[in-house]
Amino acid sequence: MLQTDSTQAAALAGKVAVNLERLRWEPAADSAYLVANIANQTLQVVRGSSVVSTHRIVVGKPETPTPELASRVHYFQTAPEWRVPASIATGEMLPRLRRNPGYLSENNLRLYDLAGKPVDARKVKWSTVSADRFPYQIRQAAGEENALGGIVFRFANAHDVFLHDTPARKAFAQPQRLLSHGCIRLQRPADLAAFLLQRDGGNDAAERISRMQNSVESSTPKVFSLRTSMAILIRYQTCEVEGSQIRVLPDVYGRDAAIAAALAGSANGQLVAAAQ
């Protein structure tokens, strides 16, 4: 029993060391910020030392993982149009179009050429179109079926990921939510939008919140710029503290081992150097 306990303690110590190293890499936190943890698929709104709200999120599948990053939310859009990324258009939709040229119209999607002119997908000879030569763009207009839902929060990053609503809200009831292509789907996005507008201050906060809600309900696209941007941190923490307890989370992308090995190598190197 003592050996088992010591083994478990050593494993926990290693897990804590890996995650403390991750925290060491992060930029200093603002007084208020958004923090999404990929490992437990939640996003928290933090102000000072308090958690204002917690939202479940859907993150990337292991084959299309959500990246770790730090950025700032400068604006959000309501009733957004979805411009389908080329990887999804060629990797997932092109095979379906070859089988069924009506696939786009059946799913509230529209085809455009690269100049932005509408194209009738039923008249395209899809057997001659390849992923390497795909001279089209696929878009989905705002509405209840739109893949981005009613709100999308934008922040600069090299991975072209963002935070957005979704019509597939049943996914938030699942314990593991690794379902996306890398972007983050957010539970209760209107609550976050209202918080950002209220935080932005000004005599027009209530009016802006009302406009935001009306825009979503009417599927009328609008952009809401923030006077004060909000820091966002997307992290990968496989353990966290709850009260006085350490909670171990699943290593859903298998990222812990590389950091543990690097830490072990660094420690061994220091020991060797000290012995010389």
Which amino acid would we find at residue 122?
Answer: R
From the list 202, 262, 264, the residue with the least C-alpha distance to 227 is: 202
Q: Quick count: other Cβ atoms within 10 Å of Cβ 92?
A: 11
Closest CA to 213 of 202, 227, 224: 224
- Burial track 227-266 (b if 16+ CB lie within 10 A, e otherwise): eebbbbbbbbbbbeeeeeeeeebeebbebbeebeeeeeee
* CA triple 194-197-201, angle to 5 deg: 135
**Which one is catalytic: 55, 74, 159, 164?**
164
Of the residues 74, 181, 183, 239, only one is catalytic, namely 183
Calpha distance 250→63 (Å, rounded): 16
239 is catalytic: no
- Catalytic residue numbers read 164, 183
